[in-house]
Homo-oligomer: A and B are copies of this chain.
């Protein structure tokens, strides 16, 4: 398909149903409920505490935080529904049709920092925007292990791929590459973890990849795919529901498997050190975090993604041949985890 066809398709409305905001909001609130309920059960100790908050400019949310659990040293699951007059320039560049229109956004986001260094940190975020004539879904999920267990990564990616494949055969291949591109620490030349899926600006029109790097693997793959058949609002909502509902089966078995693994000071120190990369990513690169902080968002809800305890160590390098080195050499580089080619 050509560029002119893309523009033509975008100009043809692909309308959401009249109750779109309510339906997405209900799903995202239920997702928050289901996740919190299951995580409390897995933890078996701590419970989530909820703060409801309002945003002066419009909207609000409910933040839920668990601290000092048996399994989860800290976990935050946040739901919000906010609106305003003008979207920021970074978004209007991508969706100029939204200029001059009031916007609405709703989303559920989560970060879990487990206590045991053999359980990976996990992040999830799904969101929905409407602004005048345009709407889109975005979000994703990515896994950040401290120690390399290939079978965990394969389980995680397989579960995501299944959820994606039920909706479109090119979702997983494209959004997996987009995730590797997004969760990348340029100054460290490392991925944040082993990735997952990430997507944005999904309105059923245009190319699957709508990210900033026209030369990256995600963009190239998306160009090979070409312009897929138009997908309706309901099809995309079904896809996002599948992604959200894939979290518990993708992650909980990994947490359960390692919850009683024995570890010592070495593993704990490495976990605290690697958590520093999470802080660096969220404060230096993450668009949601930076946008929130600069636009009078609720600071405590935005920064509940930061780990409860973190170390930095000047000049640290893992010793060759150790599991820590294996993390760097294999797991912090983009990999095709489901190809069977990764050795670990």
Report A's interface with B, CB cutoff 8 A.
Answer: 51, 65, 67, 74, 76, 186-188, 272, 276, 279-280, 283-284, 290, 293-294, 297, 299-300, 302-304, 306-315
Complexed CA–CA distance, A308 and B316 (Å): 12
Q: Which of A74, A276, A294, A300 has the most CB of B within 10 A?
A: A300
Contact B315 A65 (CB under 8 A): yes
A51 to B65, CA, bound (A): 42
- Can you identify 16 A-B contacts, CB atoms within 8 angstroms? A51-B315, A67-B314, A74-B314, A76-B314, A186-B293, A187-B293, A187-B294, A279-B283, A280-B303, A283-B283, A283-B284, A284-B284, A284-B293, A303-B312, A306-B312, A309-B311
Assembled-state Cα–Cα distance A227/B283 (Å):
39
User: Known contacts A300-B315, A310-B310, A313-B308: does B276 contact A284 (CB below 8 Å)?
Assistant: no
> In the bound complex, do residue B299 and residue A188 qualify as a contact, i.e. CB atoms below 8 Å apart?
yes
Question: Given contacts A284-B283, A290-B284, is CB(A310)–CB(B313) below 8 Å?
Answer: no
| Complex Cα–Cα for A311 and B67 (A) | 13
Nearest chain-B residue to A304 (Cβ)? B314
**Shortest distance in angstroms between A76's beta carbon and chain B's nearest beta carbon?**
7
Q: Nearest-CB distance from A192 to chain B (Å)?
A: 15
User: Which of A299, A300, A309, A314 has the most chain B CB within a 10 Å cutoff?
Assistant: A314
Q: Which residues of B contact A51 (CB under 8 A)?
A: 315
Closest to A187 in B: B293
Inter-chain contacts of A293 with B (CB < 8 A): 186-187, 284
Q: Name 5 extra pairs, CB < 8 A, besides A187-B302, A283-B284.
A: A74-B314, A276-B306, A284-B284, A303-B312, A308-B313
Closest chain B residue, CB of each to CB of A303: B312
Give the docked Cα–Cα distance between A312 and B306 (Å).
7
Q: Hey, which chain B residues are within 8 Å of A315, CB to CB?
A: 51, 65, 300
